[in-house]
């Protein structure tokens, strides 16, 4: 199944994809460390006591911990796979935009998420244009990115 099926309504899907970009970059950069930490948590199975009594209420507690961590590693690897798939789909289209277009979209929909007059103000200041023109630039950039991601609308 293609990653773009997650984003079915093209215009709002493009906005959702922009908002997901930073999260996907974080997943790609942090997953290896998270997997290493999870492996460290599953050091090993404790040795039995000399008297034959279990040291824990649940005698299989160590095994349960290892199984839980293996499941967690599987989830982390699947999340990483989805982030790679997302980046393979989104990043070429994102890089095709001009720096100006990326700035407009990041200001409106990016991590700071300043949607509204503040974002338009920052764009107007950055590009030395009026605020209504900033909204138009944002809409043109969004339309262009939508076409790059999904083809003709």
pLDDT by residue (tens digit) across 14-64?
888 998 998 999 999 999 999 899 888 877 655 666 676 656 577 777 788
Longest alpha-carbon distance in the chain: 81
The set of residues, in sequence order, having a beta carbon less than 8 Å from that of 122 and lying 6+ positions away, is 107, 114
pLDDT at 126: 84
pLDDT at 60: 78
Categorize the per-residue pLDDT at 116 as very low, low, confident or very high, splitting at 50, 70 and 90: low
pLDDT over 60 at 139, yes or no? yes
Q: Contacts for 4-11 with beta carbons within 8 Å, 24 or more apart?
A: 4/89, 4/149, 4/150, 7/149, 10/146, 10/149, 10/150, 10/153, 11/142, 11/143, 11/146, 11/153
Residue range 73-99, pLDDT digits in tens: 999 999 999 999 999 999 999 999 999
Residue 87's closest CA among 17, 140, 148? 17
The residue assigned the tokens 């599987």 is: 74
| Separation of alpha carbons 118 and 31, rounded Å | 34
pLDDT at 6: 57
What six digits make up the tokens of 29? 């950069």
Is 0.85 topped by the overall pTM?
A: no
Q: How far apart are the first and last CA of the chain?
A: 21
């Amino acid at each position: 199944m293609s990653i773009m099926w997650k984003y079915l309504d093209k215009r709002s899907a493009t906005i959702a994809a922009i908002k997901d970009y930073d999260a996907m970059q974080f997943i790609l950069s942090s997953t290896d460390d998270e997997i290493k930490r999870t492996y460290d948590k599953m050091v090993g199975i404790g040795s039995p006591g000399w008297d034959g009594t279990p040291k824990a209420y649940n005698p299989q507690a160590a095994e349960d911990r290892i199984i839980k961590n293996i499941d967690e590693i599987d989830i982390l690897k699947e999340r990483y796979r989805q982030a790679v798939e997302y980046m393979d789909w989104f990043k070429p289209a994102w890089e095709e935009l001009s720096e100006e277009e990326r700035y407009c979209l990041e200001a409106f929909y990016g991590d700071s998420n300043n949607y509204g007059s503040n974002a338009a103000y920052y764009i107007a200041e950055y590009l030395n244009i009026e605020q209504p023109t900033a909204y138009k630039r944002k809409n043109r950039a969004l339309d262009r990115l939508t076409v790059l991601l999904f083809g003709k609308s």
